[in-house]
Amino acid sequence: MNLLLIGVVLFGATVHQSTAHNYEELLAKLNYERREYAKANNIPNMYKLEWNQELAEIGEGFLNFAPNFRFIKVGRNRDAMRFDNWVESLEWAHSKKYVVDEIDEIQNTLNSRELDFKEAFEKFASNRRGIGCRYWQRSFAGAVFKRNYSSVCFIGPKYTNTSQIRGPAGSACGDDDVEDGLCVSKLHGEFKLYELPHPALPPPPPPPSSHPQTNLQPEPTVDYSATHGYVELLAKLNYERREFAKAMNISNMYKLKWSESLAEMGKNMPKEWRGLQPNYRYFFVGRNKDAMDLENKLFNWTDAQLKNNWSALKKWTDKNENYSVFLFEPLLPLQTRIGCASVHKEMSYRGYRGQLYAEYSSQCLIGPERSFKNSIRKLGLPGSDCGDDDEEDGLCVSKRDGDIEAFGSPPHSSFGETAHEETTPSDDDLGENDSDAERTPRPPLDNSDLEIDWKKV
């Protein structure tokens, strides 16, 4: 498989700064996800989103004038996050033609009255190029999910969705530019907003001076001058940490800063790194479609265990103390530094949903906390438990200058002998070679490995 089509290394990707709108992190997150999705799914005409101030000023009543845009809701509470993940589960199930009863069970979990496929996947419509967001609280009290959102983003052009063609990411941009798998419009984010003449609509209400669910005050910042090649990813992770802290009332979640020492270590991890008192944990990014499916299912499994089987979840995290817990690594609150490097990683998982071949293009080291046990999550108003450090819209910001050391003790003579498969759990570590009596819940594996029925999650 061509790694250029699945990787999200992002060298050359840029984020355009506009401090007026305060949604820089969200814009970077959406473009990172569109870039990754285009490469994983071979979408050749996925456009990069650029800020459109006219969209940010849309008021109520816009549906009466044939708008040339659609919308997405952002600033989610926990139920909204859960809902989005189950919608993605249904999309994966349809795309891989899973058994009908599994699709039915996912639909029953979602409750068909709550499901809006078009809205859930608006962010991946390839022809969108302009976006504008504003504070606009929305609530949906469904039978299963009590969803709350703090903001709405209008995204266009084209009100109706168009079918997507297939090919190498960025290969069908016409006369427009190409940036690492995304098309970049020469019109930027500008387009005709309405098909019908329309009067001046009421202006949107101003956001509150302080609101626990907003993702815009007081101006979260992105280091646009960074040359490390992972600017979008870093902004995406900080947006998600900020959103997660607000949704879960975590008072001590820190903002991540780039670490060049961790990035360098990610390129050449010594084989014996676990015995050298590492000041980091690790995870992988730049996913192919199977890796997205894998992490989506892991999210749902974890969500179910939090409610129904805490002991199974604790067993899994305890056994993964020296390994990675995938998409949950970036949400440990006391981590303050991250460094990533281009490292191709393949993982094969059997059993659930057939065989999955997850591939990643980069490895990220995140520190300074090495252990789950030390990274205690405190509950309270987001950003209220930062000690002497600063606070930025729900996240703590460390005052510590400079980088962190990758290890508490110096590497020995084998430094430079790079760890490859040892950086992730082996089949034995994952329980794939255990007897049924010895197996412990270690998602994402098959039903017997997890000691639960995936369909009932």
Per-residue pLDDT of the chain (457 residues; tens, 9 = 90+): 333 333 333 333 444 434 334 788 999 999 999 999 999 989 999 999 999 988 988 888 888 888 889 889 999 999 998 888 887 777 666 555 444 445 455 555 555 545 555 666 788 888 899 999 988 888 988 778 889 999 999 998 986 655 568 899 999 999 999 999 999 998 877 888 888 877 666 666 666 654 433 443 445 566 656 667 899 999 999 999 999 999 999 999 999 999 999 998 888 877 767 666 788 899 999 999 888 888 888 887 887 777 777 787 778 878 888 888 888 899 999 999 999 999 898 888 765 556 778 899 999 999 998 887 766 788 999 999 999 999 999 999 999 877 777 776 554 444 444 443 333 333 333 333 333 322 233 333 333 333 323 333 3
3-state helix, strand, coil in the chain (%, to 5): 35, 20, 50
Q: How many domains does the chain have?
A: 2
- The answer to whether residue 235 is domain-embedded is no
- The answer to whether residue 380 is domain-embedded is yes
- The answer to whether residue 217 is domain-embedded is no
CA quadruple 168, 283, 29, 16: dihedral, nearest 10: -80
Same domain, 187 and 316: no
Q: What is the DSSP letter of 407?
A: B
Q: Give yes or no for a cis peptide into 204 (omega within 30° of 0).
A: no
- The answer to whether residue 80 is domain-embedded is yes
Same domain, 322 and 401: yes
- Can you give the residue range of the structural domain that contains 446? 254-457
Same domain, 148 and 26: yes
Quote the CA–CA distance of 37 and 18 in Å, as a whole number: 25
Global pTM?
Answer: 0.79
Three-state SS at 22: coil
The answer to whether residues 309 and 303 touch, using CB atoms and an 8 Å cutoff, is no
- The answer to whether residue 431 is domain-embedded is yes
Same domain, 269 and 185: no
- The answer to whether residue 226 is domain-embedded is no
Same domain, 299 and 436: yes
Q: What is the 3-state secondary structure (H, E, C) of 293-307?
A: HHHHHHHHHHHHHHH
Same domain, 270 and 379: yes
Same domain, 258 and 405: yes
Token digits for 125? 């419509």
Same domain, 143 and 43: yes
- The answer to whether residue 232 is domain-embedded is no
Quote the CA–CA distance of 277 and 275 in Å, as a whole number: 6
Quote the CA–CA distance of 151 and 146 in Å, as a whole number: 16
The residue from 179, 210, 241 where one domain ends is: 210
Quote the CA–CA distance of 286 and 295 in Å, as a whole number: 12
- The answer to whether residue 85 is domain-embedded is yes
Q: What is the DSSP letter of 80?
A: H
